[in-house]
Amino acid sequence: MYDPTVARLTYRALLGRRRALILGALPLLLIVIAVAVRGLAGADDQTASDLLGGLALATMVPIIGVIAGTGAIGPEIDDGSVVYLLSKPVKRPTIIFTKLIVAIAVTMVFSALPTFVAGFILNGNGQQIAVAYTVAALVASIAYAALFLLLGTVSRHAVVFGLVYALVWEALFGSLVPGARTLSVQQWSLAVAEKVAGGEMVTSDVGLTTATVLLVLVLVTVLATWYAGQKLRSLTLAGEE
């Protein structure tokens, strides 16, 4: 189910000069802000939780997920270079699965690692806040990568739809409509972080057990990956008509 050649091509596409600069901008900004806040306000658990929850998990992780998930396949479909992959003796579900692994890895590196560094700078991992939000970022990276890879497969406007979901649905509707939070990757991952922190600094609006949250995340990831594979399988190329 994993093809090294497809993985190498995907890594090269995602980590090209321009996209790498975009991927690295938000993590760098997070760390710079963390250093500034620590220097001005000192170590404070509530400040660390607010910054990691508001900037890292609610903004940085989904945006990086959009860039990595849609960028893993969307541009290839748009410019027709996907023909090269589809002409090779590689199963199309294998292509999707490989690209998903790459998208997850890139999202994790550019979101979870900076989250841990920023959390450690802010309060030295007091009350397990840095670890809790890092785990949340890792969990969210998997679901975001799968969802946005699916969007990149089915739509030419995947980046727009991804940003609408991440920044409008989760950030805006999630704060105004309580029911919308149950369909929020951010809240699912926060539920896991809440269990890791074990205190009152990290809270989630989703009243689910950790096992249920993880099950939902796994189901979302599996279903999104399966459907993306089916869409790629049914893709009709001009050269095949």
The pLDDT value recorded for residue 143 is 86
CB 193 within 8 A of CB 202: yes
**Residues in the chain where the model's pLDDT stays below 50:** 211, 237-241
Residue 85 tokens, joined: 């992959």
Q: What is the pLDDT of residues 114-127, one digit of tens each?
A: 999 999 999 998 88
Q: What is the pLDDT of residues 148-160, one digit of tens each?
A: 988 888 877 888 8
The pLDDT value recorded for residue 237 is 47
The pLDDT value recorded for residue 236 is 52
The pLDDT value recorded for residue 34 is 96
The pLDDT value recorded for residue 217 is 66
Task: Give kind and range of the element (H or E) at residue 161.
Answer: helix 158-163
CB 11 within 8 A of CB 110: no
What's the pTM value of the predicted model, to 2 decimals? 0.86
The pLDDT value recorded for residue 240 is 43
- Rounded-to-integer distance, Cα 37 and Cα 50, Å: 12
Provide DSSP, 117-167.
Answer: HHHHHHHTTGGGHHHHHHHHHHHHHHHHHHHHHHHHHH-TTHHHHHHIIII
Residue 37 tokens, joined: 């806040």
